[in-house]
Amino acid sequence: MKENRMAPKKQIGDTVITSIIKVCGYSSILFVGLILVFLLKEGLPALKDVPITSLFSIRWYPIEGLFGILPLIFGTLLVTISATLIALPFGLGTAIFISEVAPRWIKEILKPIVEILAGIPSVVLGFIGILVIVPFFRKFLDLPTGLTAFTGAVLLGLIAIPTIVSVAEDALNTVPPGYRQAGLALGATRWQTIWGVTVPAAKTGILTAVMLGIGRALGETMAVMMVTGNAPVLPSGLNAIFEPVRTMTATIASEMGEVATGSQHYQVLFLIGILLFLLSLVINITASAVSTKQRKRAERILS
Amino acid sequence: MSSLNEPRRKTRIVEGLGFSLLRLVTLVTVLPILGLVAYIIFMGAPSFSWQFLTAAPSNGMREGGILPAIIGTLYLTLGTALFSVPLGVAAGIYIAEYAQDNRLTRLIRIAIINLAGIPSVVYGLFGLGLFVLFLKFGTSILAASLTLSIMTLPVIISTTEEALRSVPNSFRVVSTSLGATRWQTIWKVILPQGLPGIITGIILGLERAAGETAPILFTGATFFLPELPTSVMDSTMALPYHIFVISTQIPGMPIKIQYGTVLVLLIFVLGMNLVATIIRSRARAKRQW
Amino acid sequence: MKKFSVRDLSIRYSDDNESLRKINIEIEANAITVLFGPAGGGKSTFLRVLNRLNDLADVKTMTGEVLFNGVNILDPKLDVIDLRRKIGMVFSRPVPLPLSIYENVAYGLIMAGERNKKKLDSAVEAALRQAVLWDEVYDRLSDSGFAISGGQQQRLCLARVLALEPEVIMLDEPTSALDPVSTAKIESLLTELKEKYTIILAPHNVQQAARMADYAAFFLMGELVEFANGKDMFLMPKDKRSQDYITGRFG
């Protein structure tokens, strides 16, 4: 064929680059797979070597071979849920204020400030936690120690806030302006429009924000480890929030450095890692499934 | 008219109260952030001196400077960039420019979302399992950088994708109609336009890597090192880990040095943040389309 | 001489939006063939088949034959890059690439591997002169392609195509975003260019179609209703639908 006379060298280089790019594109799947494989490889033997009854007991005391992970799961749940409850009103309130109420120039100031918070390393927040917040809570709440689940929850809330603000604000921003105008045209005040129209329209996006915020809090390690007192005990009562706890992440971080490779303790720490991996998997897939579903529905309606 | 006024006034009051509440909530969220940064600057600035930045710690960290930790963090950040930037940008290009809407692409997306959500300490475990033990890199700059790279990857991929998607499709159509191949179009037109966004994403990703502690705990960070690392197979001190050490592991640590160290890390991290913000707003102002 | 022979061309998009049904047409070299008809009739789709720009779109099925200089360009093994260099296209909105004026014009040549600065310089100048833009921009070739007016931008887009010395120039409503003066400039330019090139034009209104057409094809809802030489089409259209459209009864 005459047209084919020049299949220039350039196009060969093109093919090479394209294949490289493709391989890089697939790499994420590879890495998730690798992470899972290596967690399983190091952690699954725990199920064989450590009796299940021990794993699901309420004592975490590795030196004596007691690997009850229930207190750790409880600690994680307690701190994560409290952190979410703290972060929600502030995160969503700030997102709504930035997106719906604030004039432009205030917006331009607020957004970078929230980004600063997102950029502060958690170890720095943990540090401030130890030096400022812990003593403050001890005095102010009259506790024997300020190293409590509550202190951890406050810090974690702070860490989750930027995620919640930015995702929720994005969700509010994608609500078409026509919705708001329709609300206002019907004689509703801006306040009524926000709660009656805009927020409901951005519902799923806000839900995604909350989920991702929870995910962020769940996986946080350093700040929590530094301020929660590291006591792997089950709660004695309602007061648990003002007592020391130990989360799953903090347990891994504080003990992995001191265990012998391949020991039971080592394996159980990896097992906890598998649990965390699966938890974050569920949270993130749910969050993204929710938002994709919403987008698809929106496309159907708008097209 | 007056009959309308009463309920009207009520809704007005409700609105006013509501807005005030939102303002208050925002203020309560934002002020502590500023307070925190200001407080750290205030407490940390006095310890700043040439010696603090250029000497190694002495007397069990209670005296001297933090040079090895600064250098270590620089090495780790650089190492992370070396692996994650080419891989992440290429993957972002793939998803934005090549990937079709099929099952494989959806799988890739799910993988990226998962990578972004995995707790940092789990990355630490993974790095320990794969790089330190299986590949026998030991606790080293190499192992820690690779671990941080994979953690940073999803940030770079997503921002690259977003930056490229924001480039108008008409450029692609026109370039193709002029006989450019897909890669030529990407290289000559799309990538330069997306570059500011990509760089912003890279910086934000590296900023996170620079401040992370958990992933390097068992892959490369070390408590104390009298000399600077000489090879990528050496372990290293790092600012975040050093902060952890001096605030929890060493009794009688002078508060001045603690705040000084925190301030250095904060400047490092927020400086990167600032650069990213500047690049982004400059590019936005210069954009022609 | 026939530049294109299209036989039984049918095309469907995945979203069933626009499609073509059994198009048969011959396009004459060195003449202006006008494709006209209401929006959504398939003109743009047809143009994008001729340079395989459709490859970028989500095509479900495509059947039939499109011969360009006697070669079927729907052949999957065809070198589409080479094809696109021979068949230039100008779009309805001026789209300068985010490059300098010079780089815009030289773009196609550089992509084709031309590195010789002298050759590029003279090709750029020749193309800009042909597009009657040289006198307006010769002293600011390194300015951004966005720094000139809309009418100039569209002539820049034309120059960009001319620089490749194509055989065919396709223009998809090239003046729809332009003022009357710029429109007139482009139109007179096209009349000159047909001496050297085969021109396929989708004008944005019937008047322009009538002014420009050597040959005219009326597209309606994916069908080629009537194809005739320009005079016949606009003075005595045979098909009732073309007649109604030309006289302004719909569209």
C-proximal residues of A, 10-69, CB under 8 Å: 10-11
Euclidean distance between CA atoms C153 and C147, whole angstroms: 9
pLDDT of res. C18 = 62
Query: By C-alpha distance, which of B241, B256, B288, B179 is closest to A14?
Result: B179
List helix spans (H) across chain A.
Answer: 9-43, 45-49, 52-55, 70-96, 104-119, 122-128, 134-140, 149-173, 177-185, 190-193, 199-201, 203-219, 222-227, 248-255, 264-302
Count of C-beta atoms within a 10 Å radius of residue B77: 22
Euclidean distance between CA atoms A47 and C40, whole angstroms: 65
Band the pLDDT of A54: cuts 50, 70, 90. confident
Residues of C in contact with B172 (CB under 8 A): 56
Q: Which fold has domain A47-302?
A: MetI-like fold (1.10.3720)
- On the 0-12 / 13-18 / 19+ scale of CB atoms within 10 A, A101 is middle
pLDDT of res. B287 = 82
Mean per-residue pLDDT of chain A = 88
Residue predicted with more confidence, C18 or C66: C66
A interface test, pick of B103, B121, B216, B257 with most A CB neighbours within 10 Å: B121
Residues of A in contact with C112 (CB under 8 A): 8
- The reply to whether the predicted model has a pTM over 0.80 is yes
Q: Is C22 helix (H, G, I), strand (E, B) or coil?
A: strand
Q: Please, what sign has the CA dihedral across residues A10, A16, A20, A21?
A: positive
| Angle of the B239-248 helix axis to the B191-211 helix axis, nearest 10 | 20
DSSP letter for A259, please.
Answer: S
Band the pLDDT of A3: cuts 50, 70, 90. very low
Report yes or no: A31 and A44 within 8 Å, Cβ to Cβ: no
Report the residue from A1, A2, A8 with minimal CB separation from C113: A8
pLDDT of res. A151 = 93
| Angle of the C101-111 helix axis to the C117-130 helix axis, nearest 10 | 120
pLDDT of res. B3 = 52
pLDDT, tens digit (0-9, with 9 covering 90-100), for C74-90? 988 889 999 999 999 99
DSSP structure string for C108-159:
HHHHTT---HHHHHHHHHHHHHHTT-HHHHGGGTTSBGGGS-HHHHHHHHHH
At residue A19, does pLDDT exceed 80? yes
Residues of C in contact with A14 (CB under 8 A): none
Q: Find the farthest-apart pair of alpha carbons in chain C and give their distance in angstroms, rounded.
A: 56
Query: By C-alpha distance, which of A38, A264, A231, A47 is closest to A56?
Result: A47
Euclidean distance between CA atoms A163 and A287, whole angstroms: 13
pLDDT, tens digit (0-9, with 9 covering 90-100), for A224-257? 999 998 888 887 777 788 888 999 999 999 999 8
pLDDT, tens digit (0-9, with 9 covering 90-100), for C191-230? 999 999 999 999 988 999 999 999 999 999 999 999 999 9
Q: What angle do CA A40, A45, A47 make, to 5 degrees?
A: 100
pLDDT, tens digit (0-9, with 9 covering 90-100), for C32-91? 999 999 988 889 999 999 999 988 887 888 899 999 999 999 988 889 999 999 999 999
Query: By C-alpha distance, which of C174, C161, C170, C158 is closest to C208?
Result: C174
Band the pLDDT of A7: cuts 50, 70, 90. very low
Report yes or no: A154 and A79 within 8 Å, Cβ to Cβ: no
β partners of residue B57: B64
Look at A198-202, B10-14, C23-27 and tell me which has the smallest mean pLDDT.
B10-14
What domains appear along chain C, each with residue ranges and CATH number?
2-246 (3.40.50.300)
Chains that touch A (3 or more CB pairs under 8 A): B, C
Euclidean distance between CA atoms B265 and A122, whole angstroms: 11
Whole-complex ipTM: 0.91
Report the residue from C56, C81, C97 with minimal CB separation from B181: C81
Report yes or no: A294 and A70 within 8 Å, Cβ to Cβ: no
Please tell me if residue C81 touches chain A, with a CB cutoff of 8 Å: yes
Count of C-beta atoms within a 10 Å radius of residue C25: 18
Q: Mean pLDDT, 10 residues at a time, over chain B (289 residues)? A: 65 89 93 94 91 87 88 96 97 95 91 94 96 95 97 96 94 95 94 94 94 94 86 93 91 89 95 91 83
Burial A182-205 (b: 16+ CB within 10 A, else e): ebeeeebbebbbbeebbbebbebb
pLDDT, tens digit (0-9, with 9 covering 90-100), for A106-117? 998 999 899 899
Determine the straight-line distance between the first and last CA of chain C, rounded to whole angstroms.
33
B69-286 in CATH: which number? 1.10.3720.10
Residues of A in contact with C78 (CB under 8 A): 1, 3-4
B-proximal residues of C, 29-58, CB under 8 Å: 51, 53, 56
Report the residue from C95, C157, C161 with minimal CB separation from B171: C95
Euclidean distance between CA atoms A28 and A279, whole angstroms: 19
Q: Are B177 and C98 a contacting pair at CB < 8 A?
A: no
